[in-house]
Amino acid sequence: MSFAGCSLLSLKEVSLREVAALFSLAKKIKINFEENDYFFSSNVLNHLKGKVVANAFFEPSSRTMMSFQMACQRIQLPYINLPSRKDSSLVKGETLVDTVMNLKALRPDLLVIRFNHSIELSEYLQTLDCPVINAGSGITGHPTQALLDVFTMLEHFPSLAGQKILFVGDVAHSRVAVSNLEILRLFEVEIGFCCPEFMKPSGEMWDSLNYFSDLAKGLEWATVCMGLRVQVERHQAVEKFDPRAYAQNYCINLEKIKSLRSEALIMHPGPFVRDLDFSHEVLSDSRCVIEEQVTNGVYVRAALLASRLCSDQMLLDEEVIGKKV
Ligand code: CP
């Protein structure tokens, strides 16, 4: 099977074989970089030099945007960035779809896009004749984040079978949780979530999962604690949200993680708001792998970009050859 030319808009239909192939390439890149200071050998790099990626981030981003840019830099893949909203023609009244139509007309080889999910734009993206990677779409998905999350989990556990993944925080508004559920269906994990009543997600995919209103009980159960940011900007009824009461019950801090087992992982996709959804002291806990998530994001995204722009044979040769340029 080939990824070349394929979009990644969600993880709903991804197979275990596809995920394993992508992770194998990301692992290869990681080993190449850590041992030899390069991501790919000359064949792949020469091929990628002739391509151009267009990055269009219509919603704010630090990690994801820089991670894609870093991945492009490391694999010598040229890219262009759409200016921020205030510096683009969006301020003149151009729509998102028209902006993307113009980007497409520049004939990039791949489009990376973050946007506040709209049915019109989502449908339009499916018609494009260049591959599109979803870098976060409103509350509907963040596939590359979920890929790097699972890649990181797999580095710490021999297998995900039997692991208990707990999402803590604003689950109802989390695109990261949606995409994680989409990919974790491929592994024999148990999934739970912990949040106040008004942050409970709706929909059948959540109905059969373990719900904890009490964080201590959730943390006792979990082998992975995945914190999620409170997405105040997406709340419809802001008045329901009391930051002090929320932090008291749901902020992941040193006191709360006492009930988490010693071999568990503490994760967060970022950004986190200190002392609201995550206490910075937890960063120093030996179980916390947040920095590893960010680092792995570059390897996983580089693998994803290359898999869309190179033939399988070229990447297969890379696995065997792996010579420095
Ligand atoms: N995790 C994540 O998507 O972070 P950014 O919003 O900073 O890209």
- Residue count (the chain): 325
Look at residue 325 in the predicted model and tell me its pLDDT: 38
Express as a percent the part of the chain with pLDDT over 90: 86
Q: What average pLDDT does this structure show over 129-148?
A: 97
- 110-115 sheet: strands from edge to edge: 79-81, 53-57, 110-115, 132-137
How buried is 244 (Cβ within 10 angstroms: 0-12 exposed, 13-18 middle, 19+ buried)? exposed
d(CA 282, CA 271): 14
Check residue 233 and give its pLDDT.
84
Residues lining ligand 1, Cβ inside 6 A: 61-64, 136, 142, 145, 269-271
Residue to mutate (ligand 1; options 55, 59, 63; most atoms within 8 A of CB) = 63
69 with 55: CB under 8 angstroms?
yes
For the chain, the average pLDDT equals 94
Does the pLDDT value for residue 46 go beyond 90?
yes
The whole-number average pLDDT for the span 253-264 is 96
Q: Which amino acid is at 18?
A: E
Residue partners of 143: CB distance under 8 A and separation at least 6:
8, 9, 10, 11, 133, 134, 179, 182, 183
Q: Identify the residue whose C-alpha is closest to ligand 1 atom 4.
A: 63
At 267-302, the pLDDT tens digits run 999 999 999 999 999 999 999 999 999 999 999 999
Whole-angstrom distance, CA of residue 221 vs CA of residue 227? 15
Q: What are phi and psi of 209, to 5 degrees?
A: -90, 165
